[in-house]
Structure 1
Amino acid sequence: MANLPMDIVNDVFLRLPATTLIRCRVVSKPCFSLIDSPDFVASHLKRTLETEEHLMILLQSDRILRTVYLDAPDKLSDVDHPLQTGGFTEVFGSVNGLIGLTKSPVDLSTKTHSTSNIHRLPIEPIEFPEHSIIRQYVFYGLGHDSVSDDYKVVRMVQCKHKDGDGSYPFEIKVFSLKSNRWKRIHLRSEVQILFSHFFYNLTYRSGNGVLASNSLHWILPRSEGYIDFNTIIRFDLASEDLGVLSFPENLYYEDYMDIGVLDGCLCLMCYGDFSHVDVWILREYGGKWGKFITVVPTSESVVSLEFVRPMIYSKDRCKILLEINNGKLFWFDLASKSFEALRIKGFDEGRPWNVEIVVSSLVLGCKGDPRRAREKKMMQKGDKRCYTHLYIVPLLLVFIP
């Protein structure tokens, strides 16, 4: 056992959830170095995304954050976060285990659930008077730029009052976790006109960007008296350019639409008087949209459809997890069109919840972690247990699915 190769230890560790790996980091220097290495973090994330193991459901209501494993929804866990005191805290996105949190347009944080790493973003003022800003006109987005391997937060704000030119001032800024800096984005005139001359009042959930193909997306619903067709805007995380994404013309005039993502593909939800929801999907970015499914309420389990969002496929890809109305979760059978409620032990269905899928990962998103620095310093002082990992590996095998 003392001669167990490190490549076997590496293979064992790749199969473990990130929360278990965090505990293993302090066992020995070799464990610490392996688990903290960028190559291992990337390999662990890649395997988790491919196998869809250790996925969690994040439930948020007011200042409460809770998680539960998708495959074992019998134990809710509370999540500590930096915005727990005072006011309403919102989750505005999740990518690769990194969670975006906001309590106000200038009070934003990112948190890695599995590692408990918290990064509070520097305060970036808004260039409008405070009385001209309300939540409905602040849009957020969290995404991973695969080109630069950087995690970015986008904040778009539209003033609710006209300026001297009769338009509604608008600003967009992007924060890079790699550089720890905000940057003002200057809009092209053909995009700027959407915000300068037409005042959009986005629905609550539509204010959060949807990540697909290295871009964040928002839907701008048509607004009577300002513009008579829906628009999808996209923010390219690599070029940091805001543009417009085309979609079927017959959906331009839908009265109520929302946007989502399923398996990395953009989805459009079109509501028909709340009696049914047509879900369209863009399987190939830049290609053609196609109608995917129609969701119809049933008297037994789902009686209304005020809000529908596809979350994730089941592992056999025969079902889709849908969030319906205020955080209620159902497996939707693609063949029979039937619903099966996902029961979470201890979950209070009587209060409204927002739902996100969270990956168990070791991703920090930003440079530096004081907690990890302290651990590394302790290890460098000399740890006589530097080979104890060779004896705990058999015990870790019990954690492997």
Structure 2
Amino acid sequence: MLSPVCDSDSTTKCREMENQNQESFPSQPNQQLSSPTHELPPNSSNEQTQKRNGTESPQHESHDVPVQPPKSSRNANLPPPSFPQEIVVEILSYLPVKSLLRFTCVSKSWKTLKSDPFFIKKHLKTDPNFSKKRVLIDSGSAQIRGIISCSLKAIFDDPIVTNTTYDDLSYEWFVGSCNGLICIAIKQDGVILVNPTLRVCKMLPDFGFKKSWNWDCYTVYGFGFDASVDDYKVVRIRCYPNKAFEDGYESVVEVFSLRTNCWRMILEFPFRIPFRTAGKHVNGSLNWPVFRGQDEFSHTIISLDLAEETCKEVPQPCYGDGASERSLGVLDGCLCVLCNYERLYADVWVMKEYGKRESWTKLVTITYMGVPVYRDNHEYFAAPLFVSRTGEILLQFGMKLILYNPKWEEFRTPAFRTLSEAFYFINRAVVYEESLVSPTGVNQPS
């Protein structure tokens, strides 16, 4: 490479800059660099005169011009920037569970986060775009029994929904979900709690109830969280024929505490809950529709307070004439009722303030016009599972999941990327959120 040609004055200036660079460049990597406008103190008045006249003393002459290191190398040995622990926790709380589990190898402090009670609760509350929410679907096929899980956001946004299949999970029907835990009944007296994201489950002990059992008896369940004692509870209601009551049934209520790991019988009431109707968890209570008398359509909503372990009736909206099939659900933490009017339309009511009759608000009316019919004309809408930010509603119709757009009054069916057509026949679906809550390690007494 050719060297630039310089006159004598330029050479002198270059040498002067060279000497300044050699004296000003720090000898230690972490030493702060001098300001570009800073002048080094002169060694003598003669040196100042020589510099003003553009000459240098012979002892400063040098033919070797050092190459200045790249700017990046000056900070090569600086320690990496560090963030306060609270900022790190805040950032990590937005990540999905699978990412958090992968990051446990980063450091010991990150590894302990997955079992830290404070972080587990913070992670539950941080989901502005419902990216952690998923749907667990029970196949209703007679040929193949199985469970698939898919992203709730993908159901609304993706043309083809990618899903995960759980082949090793025994079940009979879904009871409900709470904070990432899902309660599943596997037989009349068998219940498991499972976190499908962590793939951890717990089989609940048998209650040992010895009362006579026959084909007229059946069991319904509910699952929720008691915030007063930071405890997860499963409620089991056994319905027995008894002619002494108006409905011809009596119900015995039992509760399981994850903290104490045991069942207790807490009360009885003279109502009958519809077969396989799971309690809906809202505001620290479980809610069921019950029958009074022999009229199948005279529904009453009974609420069981998980903290007080007492029952009371929940006021309902004024449905008007023609109301028939009704179903309970939960939307955005609020109790809701979908009321069908034969096969003409269905109203979705939401209780904005739990327990207050005046807070019931009609969210939307869903017409049966244009709804896709798959089997016969006797299917009804079930309570909605979720409402997106744009107002589109996910609900079940017969054995299908469908999306309803109230603005355009249009229906569409999400397509799942699954190997078996059997999964297109849905028996039951439940919305849950990915979490770090473990059924085997939470709230256990020390």
Question: Could you say whether these structures have the same fold, taking a TM-score greater than 0.5 normalized by the shorter chain as the test?
Answer: yes
| Deviations 1:207-242 (CA, angstroms, capped at 9, x unpaired) | 1011111111011145536x8732100011111112
Is residue 2:265 matched to residue 1:184?
yes
SS in 1 for 2:340: strand
Match of 2:182 in 1: 99
CA drift of 1:352 comes to 3.2
Query: Which residue of 155, 164, 167 corresponds with 1:77?
Result: 164
CA drift of 1:357 comes to 0.8
**Contiguous gaps of at least 5 residues in structure 1:** 370-401
Match of 2:5 in 1: none
- Superposed counterparts of 1:310-349, under 5 Å: 310-314=384-388, 316-326=389-399, 328-346=400-418, 348=421
Against the structure 1 CA distance between its residues 350 and 31, is the aligned structure 2 distance closer, same or farther, given a 3 Å change threshold? closer
Letter in 2 for 1:106: D
Letter in 1 for 2:241: K
Structure 1 distance, partners of 2:240, 2:119, is 45
Structure 2 distance, partners of 1:325, 1:339, is 14
Query: Which residue of 262, 278, 291 corresponds with 1:208?
Result: 278
Letter in 2 for 1:333: N
Q: TM (normalized to structure 1)?
A: 0.78
Is residue 2:398 matched to residue 1:306?
no
CA drift of 1:90 comes to 1.1
Is residue 2:130 matched to residue 1:52?
yes
| Deviations 1:4-61 (CA, angstroms, capped at 9, x unpaired) | 334444233212111222233355422211222111111111103x442221111112
> Is 2:349–2:363's contact at 8 Å kept on the other side of the alignment?
yes
SS in 2 for 1:298: coil
CA drift of 1:79 comes to 2.5
Match of 1:20 in 2: 99
Letter in 1 for 2:433: V
Structure 2 distance, partners of 1:117, 1:111, is 6
Moved more, 7-16 or 231-240: 7-16
Is residue 2:229 matched to residue 1:148?
yes
Against the structure 1 CA distance between its residues 253 and 300, is the aligned structure 2 distance closer, same or farther, given a 3 Å change threshold? closer
Letter in 2 for 1:30: S
SS in 1 for 2:346: strand
Letter in 2 for 1:67: S
> Is 1:228–1:253's contact at 8 Å kept on the other side of the alignment?
no
Match of 1:264 in 2: 333
Structure 2 distance, partners of 1:67, 1:339, is 22
> Is 1:221–1:257's contact at 8 Å kept on the other side of the alignment?
no
CA drift of 1:147 comes to 2.0
Against the structure 1 CA distance between its residues 290 and 113, is the aligned structure 2 distance closer, same or farther, given a 3 Å change threshold? same
Q: Which has the higher contact order (CA 8 A, sep 6+)?
A: 1
SS in 2 for 1:91: strand
- Superposed counterparts of 1:32-71, under 5 Å: 32-48=111-127, 50-61=128-139, 63-71=145-153
Larger radius of gyration: 2
Against the structure 1 CA distance between its residues 222 and 294, is the aligned structure 2 distance closer, same or farther, given a 3 Å change threshold? farther
Match of 1:378 in 2: none
Against the structure 1 CA distance between its residues 61 and 300, is the aligned structure 2 distance closer, same or farther, given a 3 Å change threshold? closer
Structure 1 distance, partners of 2:94, 2:436, is 13
Structure 1 distance, partners of 2:80, 2:189, is 53
> Is 2:220–2:273's contact at 8 Å kept on the other side of the alignment?
no
CA drift of 1:255 comes to 3.4
SS in 1 for 2:384: strand
Structure 1 distance, partners of 2:81, 2:117, is 25
| Deviations 1:168-190 (CA, angstroms, capped at 9, x unpaired) | 34211011112211111124xxx
CA drift of 1:292 comes to 2.3
Is residue 2:343 matched to residue 1:274?
yes
**Contiguous gaps of at least 5 residues in structure 2:** 1-78, 156-160
Match of 2:62 in 1: none
- Report how many aligned residue pairs link the two structures: 349
Against the structure 1 CA distance between its residues 286 and 168, is the aligned structure 2 distance closer, same or farther, given a 3 Å change threshold? closer
Structure 2 distance, partners of 1:166, 1:97, is 36
Structure 2 distance, partners of 1:43, 1:217, is 27
SS in 1 for 2:214: helix
Against the structure 1 CA distance between its residues 126 and 165, is the aligned structure 2 distance closer, same or farther, given a 3 Å change threshold? farther
Is residue 2:310 matched to residue 1:241?
yes
Against the structure 1 CA distance between its residues 247 and 368, is the aligned structure 2 distance closer, same or farther, given a 3 Å change threshold? closer
Letter in 2 for 1:172: V
| Deviations 1:359-381 (CA, angstroms, capped at 9, x unpaired) | 01101245369xxxxxxxxxxxx
> Is 1:14–1:44's contact at 8 Å kept on the other side of the alignment?
yes
CA drift of 1:293 comes to 1.6
Moved more, 173-182 or 228-237: 228-237
> Is 1:106–1:125's contact at 8 Å kept on the other side of the alignment?
no
- Superposed counterparts of 1:348-367, under 5 Å: 348=421, 350-367=424-441
SS in 2 for 1:42: helix
Match of 1:297 in 2: 368
Match of 1:375 in 2: none
Against the structure 1 CA distance between its residues 352 and 214, is the aligned structure 2 distance closer, same or farther, given a 3 Å change threshold? same
